[in-house]
Amino acid sequence: MSSRVPLYTFLVTVGISVLAGLLTALPYYNDGHPMLQRLTSIAHFIKSPPTTRMMATGAALDGATLPSSWHTGSDDSFHGRITADGPFQPEKDRYHLYVGLFCPFAHRANFVREWKQLEALVGMDVSVVKPYPRGNDKGWPGWRFNHKDQDHYEGATEDKLFGSEYLHEVYFKADKDYKGKYSVPVLWDKKLGTIVNNESAELLRDLQTAFNGLLPQEMANRTLYPQDQQKEIDAIEPWLTSNLNAGVYKAGFAPNQEAYSKMVLGPFAALNKLEKIAHSHGGPYLLGRDLTEIDIRAYATLIRFDTVYHQHFKCNLAEIRHKYPVLNNWLKHMYWDHSAFQNTTDFRHIKENYTKSMLDINPKAITPVGPWPNVEEGYESDWSKLQPGGVDMPEVVELEKTLG
Ligand SMILES: *[C@@H]1O[C@H](CO)[C@@H](O)[C@H](O)[C@H]1NC(C)=O
Ligand SMILES: *[C@@H]1O[C@H](CO)[C@@H](O)[C@H](O)[C@H]1NC(C)=O
Ligand SMILES: *[C@@H]1O[C@H](CO)[C@@H](O)[C@H](O)[C@H]1NC(C)=O
Ligand SMILES: CC(=O)N[C@H]1CO[C@H](CO)[C@@H](O)[C@@H]1O
């Protein structure tokens, strides 16, 4: 018995090494087939050093203990928060943001970065992926950076931290066993060498306060979630998210006529309601005198509405500019008079992502030139002169009554 154990161990070790060697080659042949993706994650797991594997289960790393809630769940997402009691502490020059300028969800985090001047004040730089190609229908190999081996795309950047070619390389640096999507935004911690968070709603809320201790008082005072408006913000967010922010995608990606005809109502029911809410508050922001999360969430979808969703996602019951005078007036003001909005808005990235990478929707990948202009000019600062508009289609009006 005692002489067989070493032989047995030897054979098992050789077996595993050969298997690991074979699997190592797999990522390079991965075409996104579910079976290959599983094998690829196994390969990443076997190749990963023990510390990386431990990280995923919440073990100690660099003296910091990562909570198990940080990176968990069936979708493998990251939910870390920057807080003084760690492990992700607010520090200068410690964090880096990855975004795509096309993405309305990444737009939220990038907006806060600009608005709170986190680049200048705490050294939070940004890397920007190209808007296309993303890869096959399973998302492999995913978003690319500007890279010496690739065509340069204006407004995209290199991976400023690692010089990666693909965003998936960043995800695998955080977790070699990563099985989720390679989505933006991603907040990276240079000190612990891992992803803090990739959830845009959490980043929108957290980034606006996370670094307040390091900011000048005037900047620290800026909040998108003011105490006296939290109740109203919390009441609006669920229907706004589901019917508008995600609603345009539900219409655009509807698999058949029946689903589309139903889903196209949601965005307009939400816009009808938002138009009235904005009007009742009297401007200049959607909820009155202060900029709030609702402005950021609405902006990210509305700035893409006439330019993309109206034609590409067939959300064509109305354009913002023709049927929603209050929202259109607000949108002009946000875009033309607030550089944190304008600086984070790039219409070429936006239009080309949708129209050049979704070949089932737009097989010839021809990008429509209009509408002209992308955003109208001429803000009316006296909101009492505005009459709220909307879509009066009976099905939309019925749905609107059920929101909130
Ligand atoms: C965060 O990552 C998970 C796993 O890939 C993904 O399902 C989720 O959609 C991501 N969040 C965002 C906002 O992209
Ligand atoms: C910041 O907010 C506090 C509390 O509202 C206020 O007292 C203070 O004057 C503000 N500081 C600046 C610089 O805006
Ligand atoms: C927007 O970009 C301009 C030009 O680069 C810059 O001067 C301005 O400070 C930026 N705005 C914000 C809010 O960062
Ligand atoms: C924000 C957004 O809609 N991004 C899209 C860009 O294009 C890819 C397809 O290649 C979509 O999957 C993304 O959702």
pLDDT tens-place string over residues 66-117: 666 677 666 677 889 999 988 999 999 999 999 999 999 999 999 999 999 9
Cis peptide leading into 284, omega within 30 of 0? yes
55 and 195 in contact (C-beta within 8 Å)?
A: no
Give the gyration radius of the chain's Cα atoms: 23
Q: Is residue 218 in contact with ligand 2, taking CB distance under 6 Å?
A: yes
> Which ligand lies nearest the alpha carbon of 184?
1
Q: How far apart are CA 269 and CA 275, in angstroms?
A: 10
Give the pLDDT confidence score for residue 70 in this predicted structure.
78
Q: Is 326 left (phi over 0), alpha (psi -120 to 50) or beta?
A: alpha
Atom of ligand 1 nearest to the CA of 198: 1
Give the pLDDT confidence score for residue 137 in this predicted structure.
73
315 is catalytic: no
Q: Is residue 250 in contact with ligand 4, taking CB distance under 6 Å?
A: no
Which residue's alpha carbon is at the smallest distance from atom 6 of ligand 2? 221
Give the residue among 46, 44, 42, 67 at the shortest CA–CA distance from 57. 67
Give the residue among 309, 318, 307, 316 at the shortest CA–CA distance from 361. 309
Residues shown for the chain: 404
Give the pLDDT confidence score for residue 120 in this predicted structure.
97
Contacts of 235 (CB under 8 A, 6+ apart): 404
Q: What backbone phi and psi angles, to 5 degrees, belong to 301?
A: -90, -40
Sign of CA dihedral 156, 162, 166, 167: negative
Give the pLDDT confidence score for residue 65 in this predicted structure.
64
Atom of ligand 2 nearest to the CA of 217: 13
Contacts of 61 (CB under 8 A, 6+ apart): 51, 54, 55, 87, 192, 194
198 and 367 in contact (C-beta within 8 Å)?
A: no
Q: Is residue 227 in contact with ligand 2, taking CB distance under 6 Å?
A: no
Q: Candidates 130, 140, 354: which one to mutate for ligand 4, based on the most atoms within 8 Å of Cβ?
A: 354
pLDDT band per the 50, 70, 90 thresholds, residue 46? very low
pTM reported for the whole predicted model: 0.83
> Which ligand lies nearest the alpha carbon of 79?
1
Give the pLDDT confidence score for residue 68 in this predicted structure.
64
Sign of CA dihedral 334, 337, 340, 346: positive
Query: What's the gap in Å between 179 CA and the centre of ligand 4?
Result: 19
pLDDT band per the 50, 70, 90 thresholds, residue 139? confident
Which residue in the block uniquely carries the two structure tokens 């990562």?
66
Q: Give the lowest-confidence range in 153-162, 275-284, 363-372.
A: 363-372
Q: Candidates 217, 218, 222, 227: which one to mutate for ligand 2, based on the most atoms within 8 Å of Cβ?
A: 217
Residue 202 pLDDT more than 80? yes
User: Which tokens hold the place of 30?
Assistant: 């991965």
